[in-house]
Amino acid sequence: MYDKSYKKHSFEDVKAWRFASDFRKEIYKITKDFPKEELYCLVSQLRRASISIHANIAEGYGRYNFQENIQFCRIAQGSLNEVLALLYCVLDEKYISADIFDNLYNKGREVKIAINGYIGFLKQQQNNYK
C-alpha cells in the first residue's frame, strides 16, 4: 500500500495510524451518498474529524517527544469520539442503516483500542528512558 523503502521508521508504521486511515476512508465512502444539503454540515464535520484522527497521530509521531506524542494521540481520541457521536446523528437522520452504523462504530472502537495501545507503548518507552 505505502512504499516505505525510502524510510527507516515513519508514522505509517504505527498500527493506530493505519487503522485510523482505513476508518477515514470508510467515513469518506459513506458520506458520498449523503444529501447535498449536508455537504457543509455533517459531511464536512465527519470528514474533518476523521482526518484529524490520523493526522494527529502522524503529527505526534513527528514531535520526537513522548509527552507531546501522547498529547497528540489524546487529541486523536477526541476526534474519534466526535466521529462516533456524529454517527448517531446520521443514523437518526437515516442517512445510514443500523448495520452500517454498527460496522463503523465497531471499527471506531478498534481505532480507539489501537490508539490506547500506542499510548501505552509510548508511556513504557518514556519510562525506559528515565
Domain spans, the chain:
13-125
| Angle CA 31–35–41, to nearest 5 | 70
> Do the beta carbons of residue 69 and residue 122 sit within 8 Å?
yes
CATH T-level fold of 13-125: de novo design (two linked rop proteins) (1.20.1440)
| pLDDT, position 129 | 81
pLDDT exceeds cutoff 80 at 6 = no
Nearest to 107 by CA among 34, 50, 39: 50
Whole-structure pTM value: 0.90
CB-based burial of residue 17 (10 Å sphere; 0-12 exposed, 13-18 middle, 19+ buried)? buried
Q: What is the pLDDT of residues 91-128, one digit of tens each?
A: 999 999 999 999 999 999 999 999 999 999 999 998 98
Cell digits for 62?
Answer: 513527528
Task: Output the furthest CA–CA distance in the chain (Å, rounded).
Answer: 54
Residue with cell 525510502: 6
| Residue 19, CB-side half-sphere exposure with 13 Å CA sphere | 21
The percentage of residues in the chain with a pLDDT greater than 70, rounded to a whole number, is: 93
Dihedral, CA of residue 115, residue 48, residue 41 and residue 22, to nearest 10: -60
Cell digits for 61?
Answer: 509521531
User: Helix crossing, 66-92 with 44-61: angle to 10°?
Assistant: 160
Give the pLDDT band (50/70/90) at residue 27.
Answer: very high
